[in-house]
Structure 1
Amino acid sequence: MASVIQKCKTDPANRNHPCEKVRCGHPWTVRYREPGGRTGRQREKSFPTKKQAEGHGLKMENDKREGTYLDPKRGAVPLKVYAEKWVARQHLAVGTEGVYDRAFRLHIFPALGHRLLSTLRPEDIETLAREMTAAGLTANSVDAYMTPLRSVCKAAVNNGDIGRNPFTGAKLPKLPSKAVDDKRLPNGQQIQDIADEFRRELALSVWLMAGLGLRTGEVLGLRVGDFGEDRVRVRRQITRGKGGRGLLVGPLKHRREGDWRDVPLPTNLREAVAEHVATYGTGPDGALFQTGTGKYVATSDFATHFRKVVKLLGHSWSPHDLRHWFASTALSSGLPLLDVSRWLGHRNISETADTYGHLTPDSTGRAIRVMDGAITQHRAGLVLDVAA
């Protein structure tokens, strides 16, 4: 059992020993053993009052009985140190590693990196989110940058380094609906207008994103060998290196190295690719798009040029809206949700349904006709008898 003492009265090495006052005001120390009986390591902690020391002792003994005991010193490590060791143990895709690096370096470590892991509380998470929002980040961006910190805290709980996840009970910015507003997307003529104003050696990328539903990094990672007669095999994406330095060719989002997906290739885009190659040639490893110095095009450079073009046209679309146009056009035309989800490379079909499900053709009238036919054929007599 835990014992509570005042070292000023029992420990000759204590600077206040010997203390003969009954109410001296010196600290009270609780001593207890970690799980394991007599073989458990002895721990002690001091408190200003006897009541606080006794309360801590009771908690430690109770935690041992219930099997929830945690070494108080395990979480006494700066968040930055703990997180860096956690990242070093993970098997992260290069794109994910870059995102995590930016989140820690730009937002998490400056605000909380010096704090001991065990001292983090829900209010700290809320304060960090509020500071990100004040800096101009959207709710989606805040959620994305919180992801690595959330993973670190979850791992710390699972590893027994902290007893409570500071994200539990923390109120973060409410995420907007994932549903895409098709009324705010560019139409076909406006996409052509963007392509007409784009740098000529990159103009084809605009229609490849819109016609194939590709992400920016995916379209910039295309190579001539990826194109078949009626489909494109999407194998890779261009991402930024750790610390924002350099470009990397990595696996697709949500996929492992070597994974790929096939996307139907419209005939006119296949012909446009052939014309593009004949005019501009290819870049490294047969890359479809290249810089003036023969290197891969950076996603950040592409996005900057895209914003300049759409601003010139008087709009505010992002490159991702081209991908949305592909999905909305395919689904509103009656193509199966499962197929569209696979072509987009979503993690699962629920992501596609949450984002684009409202764009599928309304089946209400068809459902009425189907059920009327079934009821009339199989249950008409009973329905009429009940109604009568």
Structure 2
Amino acid sequence: MARQLARGMGSFFKDCDCARPTRCPHLYTIRFRDALGKQREEVGFGTQDDAVERLTQIYVEKKRTAPSVAEARRELGQMTVAEYAKQWRSRQRRVAEYSTGQRIDSALNAHINSRLGSRKLNSVTPIVVERFLDELEADGVGRGNQINILQTLKAILRDAYDKGAMADDPMKGVQKPEYVRKKVVIPTLAYLKQGLAVAGDDLALEIVMMAGCGLRNGEARAVNINNVVADDVYRVHEQIHGNTHRPAKLKHRKPGEFREVPLPRSVREAMERYAEKHGATAEGYLLRGPSGYYTETMERRRVRSLFEKLPVIDGMGMYSFRHYFASNALGSGIPITDVAEWMGHRSIEETYRTYRHLMPGSIAKAARVLDAGLWETA
């Protein structure tokens, strides 16, 4: 039987059929109306005092909320996800329009609005979000894309929650999809040399920058003679964007940020030979096309021609030459922390997940090294 407290405070009870509920081991449940006027329940209170204390806390918080504020929150909760998302998007002035901005708009237009757009904010719960993810999975949306979509949805819903549109966090307990990375295919040194031998000068230089310095495709397209800041250091501070075909900020970096990577002598000499043969722009760019920059469309044709001349290996592509850099570095004993920094990964976990198979026997090797050290100092 529910015990009613002062008007507006709510009640508490045990949901059991025990003869003496006050002495049975079951937990108390409290029932109350939140600041939005919606009846709610919370379970898990061991004693009556615990239940009353929680109800009192909720009551005091409601009293501190001005009626006008409560009404504004109720009105906000009546907005649809699509309506709120449109307002939210207009406030995202600091995102990079050609990278983050495009991903946000794609997530909204292709998935979020079509599946959740008509739902009122105050009806969005963790279960609703979980079902949304289930639909993405059932429709064959890739795990990496699922993560990006959920990131956008989470930002919108958390913003609405912080402004009082929902009483409870709609993302509470929701786990993001686990990204299953595709198999990493790493070319041999012989394959790399064969690729350089049959590639044209432009594509060969891009391959050299990827295999020798660990650059991404877009970063390699932006290779610049002025980025050589020391005989053995290359500064990476931009990429040629795949959509705009113009210089853009680096992935996982803010505009103006850069990273410095090792510049092997053979790579520096390849850059110098290319500059001597083909020249460079006034800004120092080596690869260029009709629009002034080396574009993805130009590369796609050359890449197709390149791999038609090479042995067919399932999964082999241009990005495999960047994997070669990681393999060469880790296989040479360079710490994975340095490799992660040079490759521009968001975190060392990304590097480890991708390349941990390149470090077989590292524990056994460590055991031998430590054992030798112990005996030497014994």
Scaled by the length of structure 2, the TM-score of the pair is: 0.71
**Alignment partners' CA distance in 2, 1:172 and 1:33:** 29
| Structure-2 residue corresponding to 1:17 | none
Decide whether aligned partners of structure 1 residues 123 and 373 sit closer, same or farther in structure 2, where only a CA change above 3 A counts: closer
2:96 to 90, 93, 97: 93
Contact in 2 for aligned 1:290/1:296 (Cα 8 Å)? yes
Secondary structure of 1:72's aligned partner = helix
| Structure-2 residue corresponding to 1:270 | 268
Q: Note the C-alpha offset of 1:162.
A: 2.1
- 1:290-337 CA-to-partner distances (Å, cap 9, x unmatched) read 22x143234466467546744664233343332222112101110122
Contact in 1 for aligned 2:235/2:261 (Cα 8 Å)? yes
Decide whether aligned partners of structure 1 residues 248 and 103 sit closer, same or farther in structure 2, where only a CA change above 3 A counts: farther
Contact in 2 for aligned 1:79/1:115 (Cα 8 Å)? yes
| Structure-1 residue corresponding to 2:149 | 145
Decide whether aligned partners of structure 1 residues 130 and 331 sit closer, same or farther in structure 2, where only a CA change above 3 A counts: same
**Alignment partners' CA distance in 1, 2:377 and 2:226:** 55
* 1:296-375 mapped onto 2 (5 Å cutoff): 296-299=293-296, 302=299, 306=303, 309-310=306-307, 313=310, 314-315=312-313, 316-360=315-359, 362-371=362-371, 373-374=373-374
Structure 1, 333-342 or 296-305: larger mean CA deviation: 296-305
Contact in 1 for aligned 2:214/2:322 (Cα 8 Å)? yes
Contact in 2 for aligned 1:283/1:294 (Cα 8 Å)? no
1:249 equivalent to 2:252? Answer no
Contact in 2 for aligned 1:191/1:207 (Cα 8 Å)? no
Decide whether aligned partners of structure 1 residues 173 and 119 sit closer, same or farther in structure 2, where only a CA change above 3 A counts: same
Q: Note the C-alpha offset of 1:376.
A: 7.4
| Structure-2 residue corresponding to 1:185 | 186
Decide whether aligned partners of structure 1 residues 304 and 135 sit closer, same or farther in structure 2, where only a CA change above 3 A counts: farther
**Percent pairwise identity:** 28
**Alignment partners' CA distance in 2, 1:356 and 1:86:** 38
**Alignment partners' CA distance in 2, 1:88 and 1:143:** 22
| Structure-1 residue corresponding to 2:283 | 285
Q: Note the C-alpha offset of 1:196.
A: 4.6
Q: Could you tell me which amino acid in structure 1 is paired with residue 316 of structure 2? A: W
Structure 1, 92-101 or 189-198: larger mean CA deviation: 189-198
Structure 2: runs of 5 or more not aligned: 1-6, 10-32, 41-53
Decide whether aligned partners of structure 1 residues 143 and 369 sit closer, same or farther in structure 2, where only a CA change above 3 A counts: closer
1:75 to 66, 74, 77: 77
Q: Could you tell me which amino acid in structure 1 is paired with residue 172 of structure 2? A: T
- 1:213-233 CA-to-partner distances (Å, cap 9, x unmatched) read 111221122322112422211
Decide whether aligned partners of structure 1 residues 149 and 294 sit closer, same or farther in structure 2, where only a CA change above 3 A counts: same
| Structure-2 residue corresponding to 1:295 | 292
Structure 1, 334-343 or 278-287: larger mean CA deviation: 278-287
**Alignment partners' CA distance in 2, 1:322 and 1:72:** 55
**Alignment partners' CA distance in 2, 1:345 and 1:155:** 29
1:238 equivalent to 2:234? Answer no
RMSD: 3.8
- 1:178-207 CA-to-partner distances (Å, cap 9, x unmatched) read 6x866x322223234444554543331022
Contact in 2 for aligned 1:221/1:249 (Cα 8 Å)? yes
Secondary structure of 1:285's aligned partner = coil
Contact in 2 for aligned 1:307/1:318 (Cα 8 Å)? no
**Alignment partners' CA distance in 2, 1:336 and 1:209:** 19
1:65 to 45, 60, 69: 60
Q: Could you tell me which amino acid in structure 1 is paired with residue 364 of structure 2? A: T
Contact in 2 for aligned 1:226/1:234 (Cα 8 Å)? yes
Q: Note the C-alpha offset of 1:234.
A: 0.4
Secondary structure of 2:362's aligned partner = coil
**Alignment partners' CA distance in 2, 1:107 and 1:270:** 45
Contact in 1 for aligned 2:161/2:170 (Cα 8 Å)? no
- 1:334-356 CA-to-partner distances (Å, cap 9, x unmatched) read 01222212211223334333433
Contact in 2 for aligned 1:237/1:249 (Cα 8 Å)? yes
Contact in 2 for aligned 1:126/1:170 (Cα 8 Å)? yes
Largest Rg, 1 or 2: 1
**Alignment partners' CA distance in 2, 1:124 and 1:92:** 27
Secondary structure of 1:323's aligned partner = helix
**Alignment partners' CA distance in 2, 1:172 and 1:369:** 39
- 1:111-153 CA-to-partner distances (Å, cap 9, x unmatched) read 3233333323445434443444455432122212322112222
* 1:17-166 mapped onto 2 (5 Å cutoff): 63-66=58-61, 71-90=73-92, 91-94=94-97, 95-166=99-170
Q: Could you tell me which amino acid in structure 1 is paired with residue 354 of structure 2? A: T
Secondary structure of 1:263's aligned partner = strand
Contact in 1 for aligned 2:246/2:293 (Cα 8 Å)? no
1:202 equivalent to 2:203? Answer yes
Scaled by the length of structure 1, the TM-score of the pair is: 0.69
**Alignment partners' CA distance in 1, 2:281 and 2:117:** 41
**Alignment partners' CA distance in 2, 1:198 and 1:127:** 48
Q: Could you tell me which amino acid in structure 2 is paired with residue 249 of structure 1? A: P
Secondary structure of 2:241's aligned partner = strand
| Structure-2 residue corresponding to 1:18 | none
**Alignment partners' CA distance in 2, 1:215 and 1:236:** 11
Secondary structure of 1:77's aligned partner = coil
Q: Note the C-alpha offset of 1:108.
A: 2.2
| Structure-1 residue corresponding to 2:28 | none
Contact in 2 for aligned 1:222/1:236 (Cα 8 Å)? no
**Alignment partners' CA distance in 2, 1:318 and 1:145:** 26
Contact in 2 for aligned 1:2/1:33 (Cα 8 Å)? no
Decide whether aligned partners of structure 1 residues 133 and 275 sit closer, same or farther in structure 2, where only a CA change above 3 A counts: farther
